Amino acid sequence: MPPTKAIQTAVAVTEELLQSGNNVFKFLLSVVILILALLIRKALHRIILRQKLPPQTAYFWTKSVSYAVVFAAAMLIAGVWLYGVSNMATFLGLLSAGLAVALREPLVNLVGWLFILMRHPLSLGDRIEIEAIKGDVIDMGPFFFSVLEVGNWVMAEQSTGRIIHIPNVKVFTVPIANYTQQFPYIWDELPVMITFESNWEKAKAILERILEEQTVKFTGPEEKELRETATRYYIKLGKLTPTVYTTVVDSGVQLTMRYLTPVRQRRGRDELLWEAILRAFAKEDDIDLAYNTQRVFYNPREGKPGTGGPAPTRMKTPRGQAGARSQARNA
């Protein structure tokens, strides 16, 4: 029997069995469709992995193929079970209404997934914060997205090793802070407190020199990229160069270093800056780091004369020196 005729015969037999309402045949046909779908998905995944694509591109195509195969299999299985049903419009209407009530949360999450794909509030690899959870996005699915947590009990926003799954509906109900969207740099600050007796002007000059040596310099392509990002949103950019601000606090003079740093290098950048600061201050005999202390100030003995402190004292000249000066004047 020619292949074409064999196929036509198989299709005719299948249609006849479907029209007869044989549930056993429908179940077996559904199982066959599922097995074929799994085999096709596995084969396509292997083909994608053999292409040696970049990780993000391979992830995208792997997910796309999986969703396409699952969708096609679901449509075929639905066609098998709905084949020959009379008054299809009424049946589908009642079915969709029942599913909307019974599967409200999954459907809302599915809409959230479509919103993520179209509007891109977050993308694979972005570092985000949502409801006090910080992490890097490592997976996005129809019902939830997954982040590799950073921070929490670990300092300087380094990885904790935990994977947290967040429902897609959260993109509609809570704010999302995206650290890396459009531009992978953020502003960071490092406060350095020195004693009141220290030479704060010299200390500030040292910190400015350290910032100039250790931080990222935005010139050329980097600055152009940041300016272009600002034009996409209503962002008013000031100067991009690092700076040092001076503030007086309870225990001393606080010099705050403000600078741009790559999102995933905050801890390393802090370490470089602190090591440079400690080395530089160790060479100065008029600069000391301050810390929270308690001090008793007795104004009658330590205050200024105009604020109730002791009167200024005159330097007394020894008698021998005074006599010598008198003889010198008489001569």
pLDDT of the residue at 64:
76
Q: Is 112 exposed, middle or buried (0-12, 13-18, 19+ CB in 10 A)?
A: buried
Please check the confidence at residue 17 and state whether its pLDDT lies above 80: no
Average pLDDT in the chain: 79
**CA nearest neighbour of 187 among 214, 215, 164:** 215
Over range 107-135, report the average pLDDT.
88
Decide if pLDDT at 275 tops 90.
yes
Counting Cα atoms < 13 Å in the Cβ hemisphere of 172 gives 13
pLDDT, tens only, 188-234: 999 999 998 899 999 999 999 999 888 776 666 666 767 676 666 66
- Rounded CA-CA distance 156/47 in Å is 40
pLDDT at 326: 47
Q: For 18-64, how does the pLDDT look when each residue is reduced to its tens digit (9 = 90+)?
A: 566 666 777 787 888 888 888 888 888 888 788 777 776 777 777 77
Q: Contact, 107 vs 157, CB < 8 A?
A: no
Write down the H helix ranges in 120-220.
Answer: 170-173, 200-214
List pLDDT tens digits, range 54-109. 776 777 777 778 878 888 888 877 777 766 555 556 656 666 666 666 667 778 88
Encode pLDDT of 148-170 as tens digits. Answer: 999 888 877 888 889 999 999 89
What pLDDT does residue 204 have?
94
Strand partners, 159: 150
What integer is the mean pLDDT of 110-123?
88
**For the domain 185-282, what is the CATH code?**
3.30.70.100
Architecture label for domain 116-178: Roll (2.30)
Rounded CA-CA distance 314/308 in Å is 18
Asked if residue 324 has pLDDT above 60, the reply is no
pLDDT tier at 321 (50, 70, 90 boundaries)?
low
pLDDT of the residue at 2: 58
What ranges do the domains of the chain cover?
11-86, 116-178, 185-282
Tokens of 306: 């105009």
Reported confidence tier of residue 328, pLDDT bands at 50, 70, 90: very low
Tokens, residue 319? 């008698």
